[in-house]
A and B are shown apart, each in its own frame.
Chain A
Amino acid sequence: DAGVTQSPTHLIKTRGQHVTLRCSPISGHKSVSWYQQVLGQGPQFIFQYYEKEERGRGNFPDRFSARQFPNYSSELNVNALLLGDSALYLCASSLRLAGGTYVEQYFGPGTRLTVT
């Protein structure tokens, strides 16, 4: 079975531009989460989606938005890009939404975004 896939692998954008990153979860997985990993830091939680609804949001500005489609794939959108948005953006999928019990998340290889 294919793992979590993300596209594009790399991209370069200019300050002020908009970017869309895409993620396809593992087949059968209904939950998708997005993380930002800045160089030298651990991944930081941005969003979690389950059954096309936002179920969690990290401490990120409104320039960041996301959505999940009926096939459970997801897009992360970032508007008005800043230099500080340069990072590796990771997508993770899981079978279902976890509650009190942890449900394992499987990560994709990430999209490396460079803002110049």
Chain B
Amino acid sequence: DQQVKQNSPSLSVQEGRISILNCDYTNSMFDYFLWYKKYPAEGPTFLISISSIKDKNEDGRFTVFLNKSAKHLSLHIVPSQPGDSAVYFCAAYTGTASKLTFGTGTRLQVTL
């Protein structure tokens, strides 16, 4: 049962434009949602998180939006830069189970 889903396996965006990565979830008990970025041969790197009681969190070029009624969150990157090219994982955290549940990832390519 895939509780966290990223339906777009890949996304290509021009440098300077906005990148929007989407994520859907099924478990309404998740306490936090996170985005991780992964380069080849490296472990995932934490980008930004949002509590389930918030609907927006912003950190520099990265903004995460949470729509609880739709069980949907998105990561906006503005402006996109070539160094943002990586695989992005959406993850959800459950306090009771103390574990992260990851989506399958979206490969973002930022072109010149």
**B8: Cβ under 8 A from any A Cβ:** no
- Is B46 a contact partner of A104 (Cβ separation < 8 A)? yes
**Bound form: Cα–Cα A55–B96 in Å:** 11
**B41: Cβ under 8 A from any A Cβ:** yes
Q: Which residues on B sit within 8 Å (CB–CB) of A99?
A: 95, 98
Chain B, range 72-112, C-beta contacts under 8 Å to A: 89, 91, 93, 95, 97-105
Interface SS of A by simple majority: loop
- Is B49 a contact partner of A107 (Cβ separation < 8 A)? no
Q: Which residues on B sit within 8 Å (CB–CB) of A90?
A: 43-44
- Name B97's contact: one of A44, A56, A110 (CB within 8 Å): A56
Question: Which of the segments A13-21, A35-43, A62-70, A72-80 contacts the partner chain?
Answer: A35-43
- Is B43 a contact partner of A100 (Cβ separation < 8 A)? no
Looking at chain A, what size class is its interface with the partner chain?
Answer: 20 to 34
**B59: Cβ under 8 A from any A Cβ:** no
- Is B95 a contact partner of A98 (Cβ separation < 8 A)? yes
Chain A, range 20-73, C-beta contacts under 8 Å to B: 33, 35, 40-45, 48, 55-56, 58
- Is A98 a contact partner of B97 (Cβ separation < 8 A)? no
- Is A43 a contact partner of B31 (Cβ separation < 8 A)? no
- Is A100 a contact partner of B31 (Cβ separation < 8 A)? yes
**Bound form: Cα–Cα A35–B6 in Å:** 19
- Is A107 a contact partner of B31 (Cβ separation < 8 A)? no
**Bound form: Cα–Cα A104–B42 in Å:** 17
Given A42-B89, A43-B89, A56-B97, does the pair A102, B46 have CB atoms closer than 8 Å?
no
A residues bordering B, Cβ < 8 Å? 4, 33, 35, 40-45, 48, 55-56, 58, 90, 92, 97-102, 104-110
Q: Pull 10 A–B residue pairs with CB atoms less than 8 Å apart, ordered by A.
A: A41-B104, A42-B6, A42-B103, A43-B89, A45-B100, A55-B98, A98-B93, A98-B95, A98-B98, A99-B98
